[in-house]
Structure 1
Amino acid sequence: MDKSKYAAPQFSLSLLHPKNWGVWLGFGSLAIIVNLLPYALLLKLGKSLGRLGMRYGKKRVSVAKRNLELAFPDMDEQEREVLVIENFENTGLALIETGITWFWPTWRFKQLLIEKDISAVRQHAKSGKGVLLCCVHALNLEITARAFAVLGVPGYGAFRPHNNPAYNFIQYWGRTHNGNKLIDRKDVKYMIKILRQGERLFYLPDHDYGRNKSEFVPFFAVEDACTTTGTSILAYTSHCAIVPGSGFRNDNGKYEIMAEQSIEADYPQKDMKAAAAYMNKYVEMIILRAPSQWMWLHKRFKTMEDESAEKGSRYN
């Protein structure tokens, strides 16, 4: 198999330069904390960090509230306020969950997982058909990705190298040492290649990536949400299966892993606009499984269909 354009970072003594000590100290501390503290206490710690973040991240609080107003205009204001608080608690937990994903041993990590139904992915793995595993920007996405690898169906994740070499090395190691692989997010040709060869590619079609290669279609209550056509491009050129997947945390602190439905049969691949709208319906379905665990802090509706409108004007 040809290699991706992005080479895996290698350890060198230069990574131990004093300018990187803060990075090593930060991740070292996180590794110690998540391995020494009991899981119940880690959940409380993460939620506390999230509530603290609300005090200093007023702009992000405003973005989350506005997103919910746009997506769910009929939602009661008090219900929306509760959802924002829970969302920030889950944002704080994202740091803890990243530490758990990267630094917990597999035997302990497995104890957090509930395999609800990943039959579609397993079936395609047996037949050798590539799968575009469409997930969302859940705040516990790191756990979801490792969960699929631990359950025996690892895949490739799109990756943007970090500017700090020490951070980049640790991040790459954290995401790949349990079976998953990474691919440069700009290397579309290689994505198509691995899908044709029967591999799984984690793909996130739920954010606003800008006007380029996008269509304006409904997403929740917003009729003209800027939505990527990347799903169509990858699926049409590779002839892969399309499977929505998720791994949300339930009320008992366990992560329910799901990828039970293959949707490519009815997917309108050649009609970019219809395909984007079709995919958004499944993205909505996934998010509604646990709406407080999705990244509402992102300006999902910032790009306007009207090119004369100021970008982000919905948030002014």
Structure 2
Amino acid sequence: MHVVAWLPWRLKLWVGKVIGLLAWRFIKRRRHITETNIALCFPEKSADEQHRLVKEIFIANGMGLVETATGWCRNAESLRHRVAYHGQENLARAQAQGKGVLIVGVHFSTLDLGGALHSLFFSADAVYRPHNNPLFERFMTRARSQVFGQAIDRHDLRGMVRRIKAGRTVWYSPDQDYGRDVSVFAPLFGQQAATIRLTAKIARLTGAPVVPLMYHRNPDNQTYTITCLPALDNFPSGDEVADATRVNEFIEQAIRKHPEQYLWLHRRFKTRPEGEAGVY
């Protein structure tokens, strides 16, 4: 990863593009999942348009792998010239309340590089899913801890609450399917998606403002944009479905701006409402 991280930028992203194209060609299961997601979420697109988008998704996620290496292995300060940050005042205003902040992010291919770039402006802890391989888990945790203040296991609710109550900003991405037991069904791209209740629960337990954050690779493939939106008003509302719907509205808004950069390779709609057949 260190070697890739220090390659010239254009060469590095070309390597990522090749990785993405190879994955698109040979990892048929992930391609099927992605094709299913795109068909569900973009029914207005023609078959050819969906096919092109799926290919672009694999390319973008291949680039995301080398960007992750860069975010983990390069000093973020050396990348400052590559990022524009819009809406910094929204996060600063939320932090000024003194209650800690919960950042709601999205699983874009630029996630880890976005975290490194974000650290140039604000310090934040990050919630993550531990890797099944213990060696890679140690490497990943160490790398992310150099970018974020603390890496928090996604199952460690007490840890999240404790850090926020201590005044920390915690970065958390609630856009995956965590199963029926911890979710409610809320609309996402016209689908009833199992949406984790934890976002509203953390906000209720801590009183912290919830701030949506977007980050993407620009068309030049050289620079990146981070956009911080104002904190959600009247959140949580006490209505679990309404709160989950508001979170999903932001997630869909963010994805629609750059659909090819989202992690469509995961089974976002694997948990179905009662009586509905599986889609994958």
Tell me which interval the TM-score lies in, with the shorter structure as reference length: over 0.9
Shift of 1:258: 1.1
Structure number, greater radius of gyration: 1
Q: Which residue of the partner structure matches residue 161 of structure 2?
A: 192
Alignment-derived partner of residue 217 in structure 1? 186
- Residues 248-289 of structure 1, C-alpha deviation per residue, up to 9 Å, x if partnerless? 0011221101113111x2334311011111111111111112
The reply on whether 1:84 has 2:69 as its aligned counterpart is no
**Runs (4+) of structure 1 moved beyond 4 Å?**
none
Contact 1:134 1:245 in 2 (8 A): yes
Residue of 115, 139, 142 corresponding to 1:145: 115
Shift of 1:125: 2.6
Q: Which amino acid aligns with 1:59?
A: R
Change (3 A) 1:184 1:256: same
Equivalent residue runs for 1:1-316 within 5 Å: 30-35=1-6, 37-151=7-121, 153-222=122-191, 224-253=192-221, 254-263=223-232, 265-306=233-274, 308-309=275-276, 313-315=278-280
Q: Tell me how far 1:42 sits from its aligned partner.
A: 1.0
Deviation at 1:298, TM superposition (A): 0.9
Q: Alignment RMSD, CA only? A: 1.6
CA contact (8 A) 2:85 2:227 kept: yes
Q: After TM superposition, give the deviation of residue 79 of structure 1 in Å.
A: 1.6
Q: How many residues align?
A: 279
Shift of 1:168: 2.4
What CA distance in whole angstroms lies between the structure 2 residues aligned with 1:298 and 1:118?
A: 31
Structure 1 unaligned segments of length 5 or more: list them: 1-29
Change in Cα spacing, 1:208 to 1:161, as seen in structure 2 (3 Å) is closer
Structure 1 pair 305–165 and aligned structure 2 pair: CA distance change class (3 A):
closer
Residue of structure 2 equivalent to 1:17:
none
Distance 1:64 1:192 in 2: 34
Task: Indicate the SS of the match to 1:94.
Answer: helix
Instruction: Write the distance in 1 (CA, Å) between the matches of 2:133 and 2:47.
Output: 41
1:117-162, CA deviations, whole angstroms, 9 ceiling, x for partnerless residues?
A: 22211222334231110001111110111222122x1211123443
Identity %, equivalent residues: 30
SS of the residue aligned with 2:147?
A: coil
Gaps of 5+ in 2: none
Q: Look up the SS of the partner of 1:314 in the other structure.
A: coil
1:287 is paired with a residue whose SS is: helix
Indicate the SS of the match to 1:266.
coil
Deviation at residue 178 of structure 1 after TM alignment: 3.3
Write the distance in 1 (CA, Å) between the matches of 2:77 and 2:159. Answer: 33
